Structure 1
Amino acid sequence: MPKAKQKQRRRKFNYNINRKKLNKAARKKAAPRIKCSQIRHAWDRSKTVSQNLAEMGLAVDPNKAVPIRKAMKMDVDDQETKTKIVRKPYVINELEYEASLPEKKSETLSKDLIDYVQHMIRNYGENFKKMARDEKNYYQDTPKQIKRKINVYKRFYPEEYQAFIDSLKQEKMDEQ
């Protein structure tokens, strides 16, 4: 089979490219991206991973950091504990502070699901069998599935659900 013509040609050196800049960019691209901002800011590219983490007071291998000791050697090991110098304690302090913050509730329901649940409650109240036969039940949810969706809505938005129920009661009072 014949070879491609480009492969046979002699390669020419390109003098217009800065090789040092290319190598630097390739090294930077090849290095893993550190997601933790505290560690990323304290990281020294000229040192190894274990050296960097030791300076921050973090462990490379958790098995070596907190080894499982046997009962006989425990007395000897307690005397030989090495004190490691932590040069960047602010990293640990920032990580501990961030871990102590309460976690934000990020789970929400879609607008479509909220509209669906409100439509079902508005038209059928607590009759889940009739809800299952409704034309807006596109996914053909069973009565139990609809009940579960309504309970999820109640759990995520208790104030909004209560206001919705109160407005329904008010509408019924106005009709009579």
Structure 2
Amino acid sequence: MGKVKKTRKNTYNYSVNRKKLKRRAKKKDAPRIACDEIRNAWDERKSVATNLADMGLAADPNKAFPIHADTGTSSEQKLVRKPYVVQGLKASASLPSKKTMGISSDMVFYVRHMVENYGEDYKAMARDEQNYYQDTPKQIQRKVNLYRRHHPNEYKALLTPRTNQ
């Protein structure tokens, strides 16, 4: 014979503030805005389209720049209430990027070793004992070119012959 399954009745928890729980859940589910300028100017009480229109940004690029020319030429200019957002975005976009993606410290060490010892002789680099992953000359050349793009001054310094004094 099988056992009788006991079920517990759901009871209402009176000690929990439901309004506060709903507010927390709504705030938690809202997406995090990564851009500082937009996040600081965002108003939670307004819709996405209204917020972006106030900042001078477009919610729908197809409506902002239509492909087909409309027959009625009504150049309706919307009021930009927060122009500092667009100015801040332009200023941050004009700054140089600080990221150097694509190069690990191990690869930098590997490429420096190869270029210091062999210059630009990729076939000799492929035969080097520090070529643990058995890269082909073409693969080594790609790694060297990547290093050259990210660190041009250091690469030039590696290629110049050192004079003993």
TM-score normalised by the chain length of structure 2: 0.77
Q: Give the counterpart letter for 1:92 in structure 2.
A: V
Deviation at 1:160, TM superposition (A): 2.5
Other-structure match for 2:69 = 69
1:10-67 CA-to-partner distances (Å, cap 9, x unmatched) read: 2222222121211110111122222222222222212222222222222222222222
Cα–Cα, structure 1 residues 161 and 62, in superposed 2: closer, same or farther, change >3 Å? closer
Tell me, what secondary structure is at the counterpart of 2:39? helix
**What is the number of residues matched between the two proteins?**
163
User: Alpha-carbon deviation of 1:112?
Assistant: 2.1
Supply the distance in 2 between the matched residues of 1:64 and 1:155 (Cα, whole angstroms).
Answer: 39
Question: Please, which runs of 5 or more residues in structure 2 have no aligned partner?
Answer: none
In the alignment, which residue of structure 2 is the partner of 1:23? 22
Identify which of 129, 134, 139 aligns with 1:135. 129
Secondary structure of residue in 2 paired with 1:130: helix
**Alpha-carbon distance in 1 for matches of 2:4, 2:94:** 64
Whether 1:99 and 2:98 are equivalent positions in the alignment is no
Alignment partners' CA distance in 2, 1:155 and 1:53: 37
* CA deviation vs aligned residue, 1:55-103 (integer Å, no higher than 9, x gap): 2222222222222215xx2xxx33x332322222222222222223333
Matched-pair contact (CA < 8 Å) for 2:115–2:158: no
Counterparts of 1:7-86 in structure 2, within 5 Å, are 8-67=7-66, 68-70=68-70, 73=71, 77-78=72-73, 80-86=74-80
Instruction: Flag the structure with larger Rg.
Output: 1
The alpha carbon displacement at 1:165 in A equals 4.2
Task: Give, as a single letter, the amino acid of the residue that structure 1 aligns with 2:131.
Answer: N
In 2, the alpha carbon distance for the partners of 1:165 and 1:56 equals 51
Q: Relative to structure 1, is the Cα distance of residues 41 and 137 closer, same or farther in structure 2, using a 3 angstrom cutoff?
A: same
Q: Quick one: distance in 2 between partners of 1:126 and 1:49?
A: 55
Deviation per CA, 1:94-149: give whole Å up to 9, x if none: 22222233334524633322332333344445543333222221111122322333
Structure 1 pair 104/142, CA: closer, same or farther in 2 (3 Å)? same
One-letter identity of the residue aligned with 2:55: M
**Aligned residues: CA RMSD:** 2.8
* Unaligned stretches of 5+ residues in structure 1: none
Find the partner of 2:154 among 116, 135, 160: 160
1:109 maps to 2:103: yes
Give me the TM-score of the superposition, normalised by structure 1: 0.73
